[in-house]
Amino acid sequence: MKVLIGCEFSQTVTKAFRDLGHEAYSCDLEPGEINPDWHIQGDVLSILDNGWDLAIFHPPCTYLTVTGNKWFKPEYKDRFPTREQDRLDAIDFFMKLVNANIPRIAVENPIGVMSRIYRKPDQIIQPWQHGHEASKSTCLWLKNLPLIQPTNIVDKGEFTVYKSGKRCSKWYADAAKYDAKTRAKIRNKTFEGIAKAFADQWSKI
């Protein structure tokens, strides 16, 4: 298959499909991290009509995730004056990916506003269902693709509990020690077990 992995710089999912012999390419504004020959650096919207058989999109979640809702409160308006427009732009980008003229599509994002604005995801998967002792609720909106089945269920991993009582997976909390760009890369990278599940199971369609 000719496979597009949109908004992916780590090339984790791209490599999983390449390992199975598919013509897979990542596309992102950032350079690819594994093999430049498998990467298209630029705007993914400009290549949606290039004859793909399958596309897996990871649109930026900064303005879509529910964890960022607090920044939309009136007291933060002066600090983030464009936040509302940024969310509208993010929604528009998400919907352009969902509605792309590609036979099979998966769009991935954390739990966020698209469940209300668009529709509820077809499923929510976790790293611990695919061999990683970590938790990260990952929503999948699917078009002509089967649900991803668990491949290796393990422990959910350690959690960090903050003074406020908020609880999150330790791997996610540990990323806070890095600068903003590195932190985002760590948190956004697809777990290898999930990438392999995508490639193995969606190669059989």
Is the pLDDT confidence value at 76 over 80?
A: no
pLDDT at 61: 86
Cα separation, 50 vs 44, in Å, equals 11
- The per-residue pLDDT for 66 is 66
Tens-place pLDDT, residues 51-65: 999 999 999 988 787
d(CA 26, CA 30): 10
Which pLDDT score, from 0 to 100, does residue 96 have?
Answer: 98
Question: How high is the pLDDT of residue 75?
Answer: 64
Calculate mean pLDDT across residues 94-121: 96
pLDDT grade for 163, boundaries at 50, 70 and 90 = confident
Residue 80: predicted pLDDT: 65
For the chain, the domains span 2-202
Do 44 and 28 touch, CB atoms closer than 8 A? yes
pLDDT in tens, 148-158: 999 999 999 89
pLDDT at 184: 81
The token duo for 135 is 């938790």
End-to-end Cα, the chain, rounded Å = 10
Count CA within 13 A, CB hemisphere, residue 140: 23
pLDDT band at residue 138 under the 50/70/90 scheme: very high
Distance CA 53, CA 148 (A): 18
**2-202 to CATH, choices 3.30.530.20, 3.30.465.10, 3.40.50.150, 3.40.50.450:** 3.40.50.150
Q: Which helix (DSSP H) or strand (DSSP E) does residue 47 occupy?
A: none
